[in-house]
């Protein structure tokens, strides 16, 4: 349980002073306040615990252009940033998320919510605020009784060791291949997984289990399911924590979609169900074909219909599209299937309370908030408009004649997102505009860069 679970988002007064006293009694002298940027990286500030009341009341000021800053530190000209003179946003600690950091004695960690001080409203680019807006719309459905999305995230990543001989400076940790779905020192000679599981468990973000994945140096750690905002919070913190603890070991943990030639990619799958106000899973219907309710069928159809646009949010980098393709076990076509891992949407075999959609489209580089917001928005549109899905996939799902292809490049995915008025209507014009501008700038910068491949391909013979 968090150190301030009963306080919610109390922003001042005796509640905050009580939290400060509790922190001081535990020997905590620093609070780390973090929030996600557009690409899901954690931005933040360490403050002395005595300053927490002021931070809650007034907020911590950051330049709004942090949302428009590239991984290399350049600022993209997104509206509201450079053109507006680089104004401030204010980040208010969400005390309900306060947790001690197991690997940083004396430090507690909490999430923050970003406010535009000119309007008093959430910053338009805030991924956490975007997900909240989508969830508010979800709650309006089902005859006023409301629907609550429940999400279980699954993430993969590569752990890397430094190697100055490599152009990138890094190689996969462990080296050995063939240790698929294994545990123990055979594929993890230094015990990284056990150490990381224990640290994440102490952090209290709902870690269940982990294993060595398909390729050398690749791991998967599973998180429990919970309501959508909490699931996004936990996935965001999971990624930040894994990267932080790897750095403490002198290693690099990367959630890149496909960091190495000749090896597979890293996925980010979402298990999604919907419950009504009574807690009943509305995807389950024992009397319907395949045990799936009409609501479940409409939700599946909604995700399929908006999959091209979702690809921009769930596969958000140029590198993402090098993970796709036949025989990769990553989705390539817009399809769904019953317990079929080659489909984009898989329906696991459990029914009853366990009835759910597994959306396998996303890769590990995705921002958890944008990913969940987009997925929930798509299934919500399906529930609203009531389309029917095509027949489920039979067999191995890489036959182009059986279903439409997903966008094959980031350019095509961004065009599909911009053209999807129903989806962007739920996401909001300001957020969509900022995201498209940021990502198209990324494409422009890549097109101007000379790659190692180009030099190796052309320099010696041309």
Show the 3-state SS of 17-59.
HHHHHHHHHCCCCEEEEEEECCCCCEEEEEEEHHHHHHHHHHC
Q: So what's the pLDDT on residue 402? A: 87
Nearest to 435 by CA among 367, 382, 363: 367
The whole-angstrom separation of Cα 431 and Cα 440 is: 14
- Residues 6 or more apart from 451 whose CB is under 8 A from it? none
**What is the DSSP secondary structure assignment for residue 188, as one 8-state letter?**
-
The whole-angstrom separation of Cα 229 and Cα 251 is: 30
* Distances from the Cα of 245 to the Cα of 79, 237, 298, 369, 396, angstroms: 35, 12, 41, 22, 38
Record the pTM: 0.94
Does residue 358 have a pLDDT over 80?
yes
Number of residues written out for the chain: 462
Does residue 144 have a pLDDT over 80?
no
- Mean of per-residue pLDDT scores for the chain: 91
- Torsion-angle region of 181 (φ positive above 0: left; ψ -120 to 50: alpha; else: beta): left
Set out the domains of the chain in order of their start, with CATH numbers: 16-123 (3.10.20.70), 133-427 (3.30.590.10)
- Per-residue pLDDT reduced to its tens digit, 222-233: 999 999 999 999
Does residue 1 have a pLDDT over 50?
no
Average pLDDT score over residue span 173-194? 81
150 neighbors 274 (Cβ within 8 angstroms): yes
Nearest to 269 by CA among 369, 340, 366, 358: 358
Does residue 176 have a pLDDT over 90?
no
- Per-residue pLDDT reduced to its tens digit, 256-300: 999 999 888 999 999 999 999 899 999 999 999 999 999 999 999
Q: So what's the pLDDT on residue 373? A: 98
Average pLDDT score over residue span 147-155? 95
**DSSP state letters, 276-309:** ETTS-BTTB-TTSGGGB-HHHHHHHHHHHHTHHH
């Amino acid at each position: 349980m968090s150190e301030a679970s009963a306080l919610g988002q109390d922003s001042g007064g005796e509640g905050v002073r009580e939290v400060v006293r509790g922190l001081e009694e535990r020997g905590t002298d620093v609070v780390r306040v973090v929030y996600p940027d557009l690409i899901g990286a954690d931005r933040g500030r360490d403050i002395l615990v005595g300053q927490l009341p002021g931070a809650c009341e007034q907020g911590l000021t950051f330049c709004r252009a942090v949302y428009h800053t590239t991984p290399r530190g350049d600022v993209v000209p997104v509206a509201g940033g450079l053109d507006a003179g680089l104004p401030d946003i204010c980040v208010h600690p969400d005390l309900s998320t306060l947790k001690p950091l197991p690997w940083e004695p004396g430090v507690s960690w909490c999430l923050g919510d970003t406010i535009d001080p000119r309007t008093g409203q959430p910053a338009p680019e805030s991924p956490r605020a975007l997900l909240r807006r989508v969830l508010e719309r979800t709650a309006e459905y089902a005859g006023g009784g409301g629907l609550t999305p429940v999400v279980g995230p699954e993430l993969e990543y590569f752990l890397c060791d430094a190697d100055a001989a490599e152009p990138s400076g890094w190689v996969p940790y462990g080296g050995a291949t063939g240790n698929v779905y294994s545990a123990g020192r055979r594929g993890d000679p230094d015990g990284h997984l056990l150490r990381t599981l224990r640290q994440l468990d102490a952090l209290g973000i709902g870690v269940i289990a982990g294993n060595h994945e398909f390729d050398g140096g690749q791991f998967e750690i599973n998180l429990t399911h919970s309501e959508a905002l909490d699931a996004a919070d936990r996935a965001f913190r999971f990624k930040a924590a894994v990267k932080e603890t790897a750095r403490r070991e002198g290693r690099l943990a990367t959630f890149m979609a496909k960091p190495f030639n000749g090896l597979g990619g890293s996925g980010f799958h979402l298990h999604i169900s919907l419950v009504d106000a009574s807690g009943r899973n509305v995807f389950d219907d024992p009397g319907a074909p395949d045990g799936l309710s009409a609501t479940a069928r409409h939700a599946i159809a909604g995700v399929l219909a908006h999959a091209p646009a979702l690809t921009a949010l769930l596969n958000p980098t140029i590198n993402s599209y090098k993970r796709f393709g036949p025989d990769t076990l990553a989705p390539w076509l817009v399809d769904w299937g019953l317990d079929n891992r080659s489909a984009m949407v898989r329906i696991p075999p459990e029914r009853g309370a366990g009835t759910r959609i597994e959306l396998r489209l996303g890769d590990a580089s995705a921002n958890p908030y944008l990913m969940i917001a987009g997925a929930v928005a798509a299934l919500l549109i399906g529930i609203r408009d009531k389309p029917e899905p095509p027949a489920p996939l039979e067999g191995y799902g890489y036959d182009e004649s059986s279903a439409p292809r997903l966008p094959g490049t980031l350019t095509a995915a961004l065009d599909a997102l911009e053209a999807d008025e129903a989806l962007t209507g739920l996401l909001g014009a300001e957020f969509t505009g900022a995201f498209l501008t940021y990502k198209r700038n990324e494409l422009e910068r890549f097109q101007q860069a000379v790659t190692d491949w180009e030099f190796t391909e052309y320099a010696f013979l041309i």
